[in-house]
């Protein structure tokens, strides 16, 4: 069932918890995983109480790092999910966290454009499956990576069980085509959540509409809103309505554990 949600219509309960504590308190550890070009990618894995829970695989926006999720990831863990926040080679620094995958790719002289980072998305997916033993993964992207998770879901439908895209767009026109992501979206049948700032709605809606998913939500805030996953940061006044939309989607379409089957 397709759902279009406005900022004033969201009544779901906001995920609880704050992140003002040290990282050690969140049970996070940094790991390395092999990726394209002979380098090791970097990611933060957040400890969950349930090692069989669905994994949320988090990808950051342009110029940033896995630090985009230092405030967000612990709240997802509190909601029952396993979480892995990834450094892609196209990135930089945010919240005091340097992008180690980007640093290593730079040192090796590897290309670091948006599309080059897709190799890191796939590598992280492989690591999650093989090393973490995950069978259910929510692919979550921010800005350019919000676009790339459509490709990831289209090419790996057997393990990507839901997609969450914060401000996707056709960011690859110079490298590919004006409908590059739209064409992948046509193959995404998994539960889908798409959001953006208010002014970006016209940018994201064609991609959202292209997906044949029967369970999908397009959330546009009544306020101005924010670009990418940072919309969930507590520093922004409307973060709570974004969280309510996220929480409502997760509870309805992508809970941490699958519903029990019939006896």
Is the pLDDT assigned to residue 25 strictly greater than 70? Answer: no
In a domain, 84, yes or no: yes
The pTM for the full model equals: 0.90
Expressed as residue numbers, the domain containing 149 is 2-253
Query: Residue 155 contacts by C-beta under 8 Å, 6 or more apart in sequence?
Result: 122, 184
Model confidence pLDDT, tens digit, residues 231-261:
999 999 999 999 999 999 999 999 999 877 6
Task: Establish if 262 belongs to a structural domain.
Answer: no
Torsion of CA 140, 142, 148, 151, to 10 degrees: 40
Cβ atoms of 55 and 79 closer than 8 Å: no
In a domain, 261, yes or no: no
Position 8 confidence tier, pLDDT thresholds 50, 70, 90: very low
- Kindly state whether residue 260 falls inside one of the protein's structural domains: no
Beta-bridge partners for 5 = 219
Q: Does any domain span residue 263?
A: no
Q: What is the pLDDT of residues 29-41, one digit of tens each?
A: 999 999 999 999 9
> Which domain CATH number covers 218?
3.40.50.1820
Helix (H) / strand (E) containing 223: none
In a domain, 259, yes or no: no
Q: What is the pLDDT at residue 187?
A: 98
Domain count, the chain: 1
- Within a domain: 54: yes
Q: Is 111 within the bounds of a domain?
A: yes
Geometric angle at alpha carbon 188, from 132 and 7, rounded to 5°: 95
DSSP assignments along 63-89, one per residue? T--GGGGTTTHHHHHHTT-EEEEE--S
Task: Tell me: pLDDT of 217 over 70.
Answer: yes
Tens digits of residue pLDDT in 159-211: 999 999 999 999 998 889 999 999 999 999 999 999 999 999 999 999 999 99
β-bridge pairing 216-220 and 2-6: parallel
């Amino acid at each position: 069932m397709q759902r279009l949600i406005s900022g004033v219509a969201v009544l779901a309960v906001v995920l609880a918890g704050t992140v003002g504590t040290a990282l050690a308190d969140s049970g996070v550890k940094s790991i390395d995983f092999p990726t394209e070009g002979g380098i090791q990618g970097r990611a933060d894995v957040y400890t969950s109480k349930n090692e069989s829970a669905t994994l949320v695989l988090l990808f950051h926006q342009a110029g940033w790092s896995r630090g985009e999720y230092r405030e967000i990831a612990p709240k997802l863990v509190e909601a029952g999910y396993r979480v892995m926040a990834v450094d892609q080679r196209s990135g930089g620094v945010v919240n005091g966290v340097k992008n180690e995958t980007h640093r290593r790719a730079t040192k090796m002289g590897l290309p670091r454009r948006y599309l080059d980072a897709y190799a890191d998305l796939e590598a992280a997916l492989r690591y999650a499956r093989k090393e973490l033993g995950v069978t259910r993964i929510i692919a979550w992207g921010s800005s350019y990576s919000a676009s790339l998770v459509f490709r990831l879901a289209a090419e790996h439908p057997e393990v990507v069980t839901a997609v969450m895209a914060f401000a996707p767009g056709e960011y690859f026109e110079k490298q590919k085509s004006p409908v590059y992501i739209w064409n992948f979206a046509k193959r995404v049948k998994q539960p889908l959540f798409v959001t953006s700032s208010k002014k970006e709605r016209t940018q994201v809606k064609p991609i959202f509409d292209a997906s044949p998913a029967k369970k999908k939500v397009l959330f546009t805030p009544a306020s101005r809103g924010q670009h990418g996953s940072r919309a969930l940061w507590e520093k922004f006044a409307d973060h709570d309505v974004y969280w309510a939309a996220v929480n409502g989607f997760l509870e309805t379409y992508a809970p941490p554990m699958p519903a029990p089957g019939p006896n």
